[in-house]
Amino acid sequence: MPPNPQKINDYHPEHYYRGGAKSYVGHTGSSIDQPSKALKAGDHGVPGGENMIRFNDGSIRYFTILEAKRIQTFPDDYPILGSWTEAMRQLGNAVPVRLGHTIAKELIATLKSSNNG
């Protein structure tokens, strides 16, 4: 479902349109048909357009907070507080939840096996 151009959204309160995305050489956004670029802390100032999505017709827009949370594998109901800019900073600095979980499981297994050896 495309984001609503207004902050009030019946689908999800963090899925609203943020205007102003621009594309230029080296700042193209993530293709809708490919895995997302890694999110970076920041908003429109990130160098490769990592916080934007590019559609097949060439149009672009910024990711919504909800989309960025899903890219970073956060649950939809995980609270991200503050403005869109602040939310993108938090999400860009975050370790993806599933990645952190996988690393933690392996670390625990390694520590347990080294203590038993």
Residue 16, strand partner residues: 4
Query: Does 96 reside within a domain?
Result: yes
Number of domains in the chain: 1
Query: pLDDT, tens digit, for every residue of 45-99?
Result: 567 788 999 999 999 999 999 999 999 999 999 999 998 889 999 999 999 999 9
Integer Cα distance of 65 and 116 in angstroms: 44
- The domain in which residue 85 lies consists of 30-116
Q: What is the pTM of this model?
A: 0.86
Query: Does 70 reside within a domain?
Result: yes
Query: Does 19 reside within a domain?
Result: no
Domain of 95: which CATH number? 3.90.120.10
